[in-house]
Amino acid sequence: MKLTDTPGGRKIHTGFTPSMGGIGFVVSTFISCLIWLPYEDLVEVRFLLAAFGLMFFVGLRDDMVNLSAPQKLGAQVVAALMVIIMADVRITGLYGLMGVYELPLFTSYVLTLITIIGLTNAFNLIDGLDGLAGSISMVSFAFLGWWFFDVGYDAYAYFSFAILGGVMSFLIFNWHPAKIFMGDTGSLSLGFSLSILTVLFIDIDGTMSGINGVKFAAPIATGVALLIVPIYDTLRVFLKRAVKGKSPMSPDKSHVHHFLLRMGLRHDQVTLLLVIIKVIFIGAVFLGRDLNDMVMLPLVLFSAVLIGLRLDAVTLKRVKKINAESPPVLVKRERKKPQVQAKVLRKIKMTDN
């Protein structure tokens, strides 16, 4: 059925590797939720589960027949609107940023839709390295599961922990050298669920009084920190393509993980480096949880740009050094004619053919 990821082109793996590994942790998430969630919690997350299932089938279909961009975007819009309108999961305001506390309903819908679609596709773009997407999502799901449980939103906590368990199991086989890839089946599902849960976190944290659990005074900055790697990588790639006069959607190998690989790092080293950077950002918002978004949001964004530029500079220096030390590609080699042994010549029979 050709259900393998073929090497070549922009692919950085060398062998035919099974894809659609997302089936494993998505199906396990549904099974876990059906087994462990009380009926009341299942009712609370029913629209999230329905939209999550829709994204799963879209990713599955894309892995099998390669859907067009408008088809995938249309499905993402439908899934996002299911959660935004039916479950009322949306960004209701800016929570004090620039003095804005509440947004008009239509503005809230549009802003939330753009945020969910943008974050979903940003996460999908980082799925280009063994273990990277799974490891990045694992940190976010662990944080969100803990926080939802702490503030009393048990249904969303259990959902987060269910995906976390599935992803951790999947990483055993997806860690470098990967035996299987998650494909769009997994990356679209993970990116969509992460974007929904992050939006919900921002809104709950931004509107709660603070007596229900741990409150972050900068909900938007904290949400950005949870997805700082895909956000920074997508903005960086789009900006570089625009500067070169290329379409922002044109595929290439200019992502952060591609750049770090050229530096000589292995897949697992690149993954661990980006995970550590993400954990540092989450630790920073913990330390500054009493500071509002007017302080924390510029600080998080500025730090991301600063670290990114430093990584680019170090990587570029390392790549130049590797190229300088490497032998020329075109090297003339002396070719010798193959010699046939005399005893072989005596035994063979020559014909006119």
| Interval 133-172: pLDDT, tens | 999 999 999 999 999 999 999 999 999 999 999 999 999 9
- Asked if residue 205 lies in contact with residue 77, where contact means CB atoms within 8 angstroms, the answer is no
Q: Is the pLDDT confidence value at 331 over 90?
A: no
Q: Which residues pair with 4 in a beta bridge?
A: 18
Global pTM value: 0.86
Q: Is the pLDDT confidence value at 316 over 90?
A: no
Q: Is the pLDDT confidence value at 347 over 80?
A: no
Could you tell me the sign of the dihedral formed by the alpha carbons of 337, 342, 344, 347, in that order? Answer: positive
Tracing tokens 């939802």 back to the chain, one arrives at 148
Token representation of residue 173: 């086989």
Instruction: Give SS3 for 4.
Output: strand
- Asked if residue 270 lies in contact with residue 126, where contact means CB atoms within 8 angstroms, the answer is no
Task: Compute φ and ψ for 31, nearest 5 degrees.
Answer: -60, -45
Instruction: Give the pLDDT of residue 195.
Output: 97
**Bigger pLDDT: 310 vs 211:** 310
Q: Is the pLDDT confidence value at 47 over 70?
A: yes
Instruction: Give the pLDDT of residue 89.
Output: 96
Rg of the Cα trace of the chain?
A: 25
Listed in sequence order, the DSSP H helices in the chain are 22-36, 39-44, 46-65, 69-81, 105-125, 132-150, 154-174, 183-207, 219-226, 228-243, 256-262, 267-287, 293-325, 342-347
Q: Is the pLDDT confidence value at 124 over 80?
A: yes
- Asked if residue 2 lies in contact with residue 66, where contact means CB atoms within 8 angstroms, the answer is no
Instruction: Give the pLDDT of residue 319.
Output: 78
- Asked if residue 119 lies in contact with residue 231, where contact means CB atoms within 8 angstroms, the answer is yes
- State the maximum Cα–Cα separation within the chain, in Å, rounded to a whole number: 98
**Exposure class string for 169-201: b at 16+ Cβ within 10 A, else e:** ebbebbbeebebbbbbbbbbbbbbbbbbbbbbb
| Residue 332: CB atoms within 10 Å | 6
Going by the DSSP 8-state scheme, the letter that residue 6 receives in this structure is: -
Question: In which element (H, E) is residue 17 found?
Answer: strand 17-18
Q: Is the pLDDT confidence value at 258 over 90?
A: no
Q: Is the pLDDT confidence value at 210 over 70?
A: no
What's the one-letter identity of residue 42?
L
Instruction: Give the pLDDT of residue 348.
Output: 62
The CA distance from 204 to 157, in Å, is 13
- Asked if residue 226 lies in contact with residue 140, where contact means CB atoms within 8 angstroms, the answer is yes
